Amino acid sequence: KRLVVLVSGSGTNLQALLDAIAATGVAAYGAEVVAVGADREGIEGLARAERAGLPTFVCRIKDHESREAWDAALTEAVSAYEPDLVVSAGFMKIVGKEFLARFGGRFVNTHPALLPSFPGAHGVRDALAYGAKVTGCTVHFVDDGVDTGPIIAQGVVEVRDEDDESALHERIKEVERRLLVEVVGRLARNGYRIEGRKVVIQ
């Protein structure tokens, strides 16, 4: 299976996928990353892709006259690589109707909180501020909401009294990277069905 991964930052989730595929082998893992896209230049996630010899593309909102035009450009850029599955690994933009029309049902996101708690761009900070005792990460299919699509898997992470946002986020990311690698591999190898809010992996 062909994966396109979308990033906006350090790309450690992307790196975890690349390392797992290199260690396991494409055939055994069931998928390979064929391209990496971003919404901004100069991020470590793109440098990781380049070091891995992968094609990259950047779709910046400000290069387009409207949000819809950006969404269409992103859809076209991703479509060029003919992915079976698109993975948002820290991609910090909400995709639009055209992208979902093309990739809905095969577009997976990872979020650093236990959805439906703490959706949005500051899930780690919000859980900490709320005083949650446990939080974690969620891998889910993307729908037309923000972090509201059908949940595939979740991992629990305890919140420690001495945690600040970055310490907690690092601990979450350790679980998140393992969860994403495991889920993407299973989706690619086994195939799956989405039945309402339920995801059935064969």
Give the separation between CA 76 and CA 98, rounded to whole angstroms.
10
* Residue type, position 40, single letter: R
Shortest CB 124 distance to ligand GRF, Å? 7
111 catalytic residue (yes or no): yes
Dig out the tokens for 165 from the structure. 């946002």
Which residue is it, tokens 């260690």?
23
Instruction: Answer yes or no: is 1 a known binding residue.
Output: no
Q: Which is nearer to ligand GRF, 5 or 73 (CB)?
A: 5
By CB under 6 A, is residue 7 in contact with ligand GRF?
A: yes
Instruction: Answer yes or no: is 95 a known binding residue.
Output: yes
Give the separation between CA 38 and CA 40, rounded to whole angstroms.
5
Instruction: Answer yes or no: is 200 a known binding residue.
Output: no
Give the separation between CA 24 and CA 30, rounded to whole angstroms.
9
Dig out the tokens for 4 from the structure. 């396109």
Q: Which is nearer to ligand GRF, 75 or 135 (CB)?
A: 135
Residues at the annotated binding site?
11-13, 67, 92-95, 109
Using CB under 6 A, list all residues that contact ligand GRF. 7, 9-13, 45, 89-90, 110-112, 173, 176
